[in-house]
Structure 1
Amino acid sequence: MMFDCAIIGGGPAGLNAALVLGRARRNTVLFDNNRPRNVVTGESHGFITRDGVKPAEFRRIAHEDIDKYGTVRRVQTKIVDVRREGLFFRLATEEGEIVQARKLLLAAGLKETLPSVPGIHDFYGKSLFNCPYCDGWELRDRPLAVIAEQEHAFHMVRVVYNWSRDLVVFTNGRFNLSAEEKSRLSRKGIPVLEQRIASLRGQHGRLESVVLEDGREIRRAGGFVAPQWTQAAPFGDRLGCARNGKGGYVTDGFGRTSVKDVYAAGDTSVVAPSQLIIAAAEGSRAAIGVNTDLTEEDF
């Protein structure tokens, strides 16, 4: 079957794009491998009327909204290949099904690599998080750890400082802060510990302390980590979409990439985790771009 648009990714960007295209009466297929990045998160915040919603509940409501429009087909599978064939795109699922579409929207989002700290996955999504805007309120005024191996450690610390003044920075053996940055943090009463982390201690995912290789144990009641972000799917690169300085795909105001008929939305275009409401808005914007271009071609 030939679709007007194929969407790869069933997160908030892909879901909202499918909703807008469905309402525009466009034959759309949404591919979702049902492995959302926020599966470890208990609640999602910052989306008006949905603040505190559980990710699974958000997806359930979104599916109900989309399913009201008969031109959208949702397929729970993984796309393994995308290629251009003349004026259309050919997509192959892991089951071997072949689908063709006039337009392609990339919304698979990101995958994250956490700092190399033993046991960090036991706490991630429960008391250690990556987005202060999403989870800072719940950790407000607590003694927090900021675990950051990347060069943007200083930026993260400054943001987290809005929610708690009791911070300790752990670089896990990386010397990623300049002398000036450490001095500025010191003036705020924020110590920087550059030793490697030996372990994290706590129960049931609730952080209680950070243990360094020299034996010191620093009591903490949660915190934030700075993962390394990469594209979750390779199709934009394979199709030749240009990247921006942060590794995301370059897009215009309506999600158009540098490759004709290929669009990107959500985290895929910025390579940074965004709140649900931002990703959903970008999905809406890209869907309008898709529909605008289809309309131009049809006339």
Structure 2
Amino acid sequence: MIYECAIIGGGPAGLNAALILGRARRSLAIIDNNRPRNAVTHASHGFITRDGVTPTEFRRIALEEVKSYPSVDHLQNEVVSVDTTQFGFELVDSAGLRLQARKLILATGVKEIYPDIEGFYPLYGKSLFNCPYCDGWELQDQPLVVVSEYPNLFHKAKLLLNWSKNLVVCTNGKASLSDEHKKQLQSMDIVVMEQPISAFIGQNGRLEHVRFADGAQIPRTGGFVTPKFVQSFPFAERLDCEMTASGGIKTDGKGRSAIPGLYIAGDASYVAPSQVVFAAADGSRTAMSVNMDLTEEDFTVRRSASTG
């Protein structure tokens, strides 16, 4: 059997793409390894009707809805190779199963690489986070630390003033703030600390202090740390996809990559902030592109057959 579409990735983008294609009566396989990037998160926010839902519950509901459509197959495994073929694509999973599909959606997302700071991971997802829109409400009016080694630090500090005026901004020893930006932050009574951070100190998931390499220490109860984002899987590189300057897979804005039949949905293309609602919406948009392209191809074949 050759599926009309295969989807790699069972996050919000992949699941919403599967929902749209299932409702379009397309035969498809959605393959994922059940290792979502947001598994560490206790609750997902910013998605209307699902604000505060746990990632596990979100996935359970989504899979239940998707699998109710008879043309959708869900395979819980890890894809280890993807190749282009004369009919489209061939996928091989870790169990050795080979799947063939006319179209392929990569909804594999990205993964975060955080600064190598002692004590970070026991606090991550509990009192240290990445996205203010996702978790700023829960930390409102607390003494917060903002850490970034990248030029977005100034913007992130300004943004966090919506949730707390008690901020300490840290560059972790990097040149992520210009002199002008430092002056502007300090004029707002925001402390700027440029020395490297040696450790986040806390108990039971709650941040208590930030310790610096020079021995300085400040009390904080929460904060936001900016990671570097990289592709979760090397499929884009293996398929020789065109990449954006920020490391995303380049698309036409509607999910189509430069490779015929290959589509990108969600964070893998860096089309939006890293939120469930954006990823799901992009999955929907990409699935509509897939369905339209399949429709055009099938119509052409049927018309040729009828006039031949």
Give TM class, smaller chain. over 0.9
Displacement, 1:240? Answer: 2.1
> Does structure 2 retain, via aligned residues, the 8 Å contact 1:5–1:102?
yes
- Percentage of identical aligned residues: 56
Aligned AA for 1:145? V
- Does the CA contact (< 8 Å) of 1:12 and 1:276 recur in 2? yes
How far the C-alpha of 1:254 sits from its partner, in A, is 2.2
1:288 corresponding residue in structure 2? 288
Q: Secondary structure at 2:92's aligned position in 1?
A: strand
Partner SS for 2:159: helix
In 1: Cα distance, 2:215 partner to 2:271 partner: 36
Aligned partners of 1:107 and 1:266 also within 8 Å: yes
Distance (whole Å) between structure 2 residues aligned to residue 271 and residue 290 of structure 1: 17
SS where residue 64 of structure 1 aligns?
A: helix
CA contact (8 A) 1:170 1:194 kept: yes
2:49 aligned residue: 49
| One-letter amino acid matched to 1:217 | Q
1:176 is aligned to 176
For residues 187-223 of structure 1, give each alpha carbon's deviation from its aligned partner in whole angstroms, at most 9, with x where no partner exists: 1111111111121111111101101122221011101
Cα RMSD, aligned residues only = 1.1
| 2:188 aligned residue | 188
Measured in 2, the distance between the counterparts of 1:23 and 1:175 equals 50
Return the alpha-carbon distance in structure 1 between the equivalents of residues 30 and 273 of structure 2. Answer: 21
Where do 1:117-196 residues align within 5 Å? 117-196=117-196
Per the alignment, residue 93 of structure 1 pairs with 93
Alpha-carbon distance in structure 1 between the residues aligned to 2:172 and 2:60: 39
Post-superposition CA distance 1:99-147 (Å, at most 9, x none): 0000010101011101121111111111011000100111111110011
**Aligned partner of residue 18 in structure 1, secondary structure:** helix
Q: Which amino acid aligns with 1:3?
A: Y
Residue 273 of structure 1 deviates from its aligned partner by 4.9
CA distance in 2, matches of 1:13, 1:280: 4
**Contact between 1:143 and 1:222, CA under 8 Å: does it hold in 2?**
yes
Contact 2:256-2:286 within 8 A present in 1 as well: yes
Q: How far, CA to CA, are the matches of 1:40 and 1:139 in structure 2?
A: 17
Aligned residue for 2:258, secondary structure, equals coil
**Structure 1 range deviating more: 159-168 or 131-140:** 159-168
What SS does the corresponding residue of 1:162 show, helix, strand or coil?
coil
Instruction: For 1:50-129, list aligned pairs within 5 A.
Output: 50-129=50-129
Aligned ranges 1:263-282 → 2 under 5 Å? 263-270=263-270, 273-282=273-282
Q: CA deviation at 1:253?
A: 3.6
Whether the 8 Å contact between 2:197 and 2:213 is mirrored in structure 1 is: yes
- Deviation at 1:5? 0.5
SS at match of 1:202: strand
Contact 1:169 1:190 in 2 (8 A): yes
The structural deviation recorded for 1:63 is 0.7
Conserved? CA contact 1:247–1:271, under 8 Å: no
* Paired amino acid for 2:79: I
CA shift for structure 1 position 232 = 0.4
Greater shift in the superposed pair: 151-160 or 172-181: 151-160
**2:203 is the counterpart of 1:198:** no
Deviations 1:160-210 (A, max 9, x none): 122111110111121221101111111111111111112111111110110
Deviates most, 207-216 or 287-296: 207-216
Deviations 1:4-52 (A, max 9, x none): 1110110000000000000001011001111100011000000000000
Q: CA deviation at 1:237?
A: 2.1
Check 1:226–1:33 CA distance in 2 against 1; reply closer, same or farther (3 A cut).
same
Find the residue that maps to 1:252 and give its secondary structure: coil
4+ residue runs of structure 1 moved beyond 6 angstroms?
A: none
Q: Distance in 2 between matches of 1:7 and 1:183?
A: 48
Which structure 1 residue ranges, 5 or more long, are not aligned? none
Q: Which amino acid aligns with 2:107?
A: A
Query: Are 2:30 and 1:30 equivalent residues in the alignment?
Result: yes
Q: Is the 8 A contact 1:149 1:174 kept in 2?
A: yes
Distance in 2 (alpha carbons) for counterparts of 1:203 and 1:239: 45
Separation in 1, partners of 2:69, 2:272 = 31
- Say whether the 8 Å CA contact 2:272–2:279 is kept in structure 1: no
